[in-house]
Amino acid sequence: MDYPIPPDVPTPAPPPEPPVSAVPEGTHTVTPHLVVRDGARAIDFYGAAFGAVEIYRMPAPDGALVHAELQVGDSRIYLADEAPAMGARSPKALKGTPVTIHLYVEDVDATFERAVRAGASVVRPVEDQFWGDRYGQVEDPFGHVWSIATHKEDVAPGEMMRRAEEFFASMPPPPKPAPRKKAAAKKAKKKAGAGKRKPARRKTAIKKKKKKTARKKPARRKKTAGRKPARKKKAARGRRRAGKPARSKAARRKKRR
């Protein structure tokens, strides 16, 4: 039988909710977020090459991959289709990548071969390295570079420096950068024309040019003694406009006298 709770007895408060973790469960502080072209195909490739397990997938209405999460070993990888309008471009759009994703595995040789069979291309074959890892690099079909390694030896700092010096001493010198096309063509043209002199121009040609360019001064009118300067034709034009006949030369002479 249920008994009513007296009004003066306070009801118990609900238990407090557990605090939200700043880092979601299953992820680490740093998580690679890969932008690819054809995200659905990328999920299949990473599963075949590195044993990635799909955790979550969010498709867009048009079928593009907005977000996906994959589990590789003890680490998560975020994945999304490229969206140039939002600034998300894949290595295929950028024609390369400056980033390398490092992957530690139990058997580097087996993982390397499996990635190549799945469609990756070899960037650097697997070899024992001076820092204690057996290490190689591949590029996946979407343009991302993966370095795959198995740790074989813990090397002390002093021994690491000694091995590094030996390694760099054995390397061939880097090739000289190719000269720019414009600079090289200009230099070759200068060398070809070093022994040739420009033909001297003839003086007669220079004089002719000067004669052509020189301006002709207007000829001065000769002043006739005892005669008034001839009137301009404006007077005759004015008489015509007024309806009067233009004066003849004889009439003009009489008026001057």
Q: Please, what is the average pLDDT of the chain?
A: 83
What does the alpha-carbon distance between residue 155 and residue 242 come to, in Å, rounded to a whole number? Answer: 119
**Taking 60 as the threshold, does the pLDDT of residue 209 lie above it?**
no
Domains of the chain (ranges, CATH numbers): 33-168 (3.10.180.10)
CB-based contact 245:238 (threshold 8 Å) = no
pLDDT bin (cut points 50, 70, 90) of residue 236 is low
Residue 62 identity (one-letter amino acid): D
> Quick count: other Cβ atoms within 10 Å of Cβ 200?
6
159-169 average pLDDT score: 94
More reliable by pLDDT, 199 or 253: 253
**Taking 80 as the threshold, does the pLDDT of residue 103 lie above it?**
yes
**Taking 60 as the threshold, does the pLDDT of residue 204 lie above it?**
no
What are the pLDDT digits (tens) for 25-74? 889 999 999 999 999 999 999 999 999 999 999 999 999 999 999 999 99
Closest listed residue to residue 123, CA positions, set 100, 139, 109: 139
What pLDDT, on a 0 to 100 scale, did the predictor assign at position 38? 95
What pLDDT, on a 0 to 100 scale, did the predictor assign at position 229? 55
Say which range, 145-159, 173-187, 205-219, has the weakest mean pLDDT: 205-219
Tokens of 250: 């004889």
pLDDT bin (cut points 50, 70, 90) of residue 188 is confident
What pLDDT, on a 0 to 100 scale, did the predictor assign at position 241? 60
What pLDDT, on a 0 to 100 scale, did the predictor assign at position 26? 87
CA distances to 38, 72, 86, 115, 122 from 145, in Å: 17, 16, 23, 12, 10
**Taking 70 as the threshold, does the pLDDT of residue 205 lie above it?**
no
Say which range, 87-96, 153-162, 189-198, has the weakest mean pLDDT: 189-198
What does the alpha-carbon distance between residue 52 and residue 44 come to, in Å, rounded to a whole number? Answer: 9
**Taking 90 as the threshold, does the pLDDT of residue 100 lie above it?**
yes
Q: How many CA atoms lie within 13 A of 68 on its CB side?
A: 25
146-150 average pLDDT score: 98
pLDDT bin (cut points 50, 70, 90) of residue 203 is low
Please return the burial class of 49, using the count of CB atoms within 10 Å of its CB with bins 0-12, 13-18 and 19+.
Answer: buried
What pLDDT, on a 0 to 100 scale, did the predictor assign at position 88? 94
Kindly report the backbone phi and psi dihedral angles of residue 166, in degrees, each rounded to the nearest multiple of 5, phi listed first.
-65, -40
Closest listed residue to residue 104, CA positions, set 74, 141, 79, 145: 74
More reliable by pLDDT, 9 or 120: 120
What pLDDT, on a 0 to 100 scale, did the predictor assign at position 172? 87
